[in-house]
Amino acid sequence: MAECPGEETLDRFITGALDAAAERDVKDHLDLCDACREVVAVVGREVQPSQRRSLPDDLLGGRYRLLRLLGQGGMGTVYEALDLTLDRPVAVKILREDTALDALARFRREAAAVAALRHPHIVQVTDVCLVSPRGAYLVMEKLEGESLRSIVSRDAPLAEDRVVSLGLQILSALGEAHARGLVHRDVKPENVFVTPTVALPDWARLLDFGLVKELPAAGEQPTLTSGHALVGTPAYMAPEQARGLPLDPRVDVFAVGVCMYEMLTGRRPFSGTGTALVASICADTPPPVGVLRPDVSPGLARIVERFLAKAPGERPDALEAARMLAQVTREVPPTIDDAHRPSSQPSREVRRRRTGQRRRSLLALFGAVLLFTLLVGGAALVVAFWLAGRAPVSP
């Protein structure tokens, strides 16, 4: 933020009415501008809840005190809140009061779907309320970090290893959802949140199951999208999704392919807007990753192209896609055929672990034998001394 924010922006900052991104911009500016920092200090950030224009002036559900606005969407608003019962920060998504009935039905599907999923790469829902004076809401874990969209916008093109790691985590989350008969239908960088952790520098979590669709049960016929309406974000739609045709889980794999293409190249595979974008998705072949990014291993480039196949039958499912990515290395780029063929030989890492296990087993066996020998020898000495003590003494 090169110029000083206006009075209205500072006022919204003080009252907590800015979204998370705008609030970060103001905070960054305040670090550099003494004049604006003095204004904020004079007015004060500690305001009463009733003065926060974007927040209700009482508790939500008698338990969650809303603290600040995190973001707004077509269906509702997300706030940072404090769970007074457990004394921990949470995120609360409140459905808009003027939401149509179909959106309410989607909200209920999202709540039910996410609450049933337990996976380290899917945001966890901790509470759901479908009827309250303020409308339906769901409570999720409060995540620290940033969206994949922010990372791509700032850092793309990303390093190959980083793209593979993020892709694996997203596919792992989708594999869990698909196994439970759920298709996300809106996988995109905005719906992936990345948190730095000790275990992994980029820990990804899949968000926003508002467009989730249950797969038809065995024997049921799949249905067309109502009115052939586009459901999802056009730039990340598979051809069959853009046409309003019946969907299966591989529609999400296509979206992962778009995300990975964008992470690797810094651009989306299909351009245009509206009907031109849909036509491009359905008919055009995007520029190869290897042409736009020659340093990317050929194996990874071909795998991303496989994810972007026009026909669903030519794409892998989420778990197969994850196995393909897991075998991508810079030293030995796999071919598409080799990428999803199980190896008959254990990997170097597996052989190393097995060797270590055998060594530990031998050491344990040697130690047990040595201990047994010492025990037996010690017992023999004790018996010998005892017998010597009972022997009759010669006159």
**pLDDT for 336-369, tens place per residue?**
333 333 333 444 444 455 555 555 655 555 565 5
CATH of domain 55-142: 3.30.200.20
State pTM to two decimals. 0.68
Q: With cut-offs at 50, 70 and 90, classify the pLDDT of residue 249.
A: very high
In the predicted model, what is the mean pLDDT of the chain? 79
Higher pLDDT, 372 or 59: 59
Q: How far apart are CA 230 and CA 295, in angstroms?
A: 36
- Per-residue model confidence as pLDDT tens digits over 305-314: 999 999 999 9
Contact assessment for residue 78 and residue 207, using Cβ atoms and an 8 Å cutoff: no
Peptide bond into 157 cis (omega under 30): yes
- In terms of Cβ atoms closer than 10 Å to its own Cβ (0-12, 13-18, 19+), residue 133 is exposed
Structural domain spans, the chain: 1-47, 55-142, 146-339, 351-395
Query: Is 146-339 a domain of CATH 1.10.510.10?
Result: yes
Q: Considering only CA atoms, which of 231, 255, 256, 233 is closest in space to residue 245? A: 231
Percent of the chain with pLDDT over 90: 46
> Is 40 or 136 the better-scoring residue by pLDDT?
136
Residue 127 among the catalytic residues: no
Percent of the chain with pLDDT over 70: 68
CB atoms closer than 10 angstroms to residue 45: 10
Q: Which one of the listed residues 11, 161, 186, 248 is annotated catalytic?
A: 186
For residues 364 and 376, what is the distance between their CA atoms, to the nearest angstrom? 18
Instruction: Quick: pLDDT tens for 108-134.
Output: 777 777 788 889 999 998 898 876 667
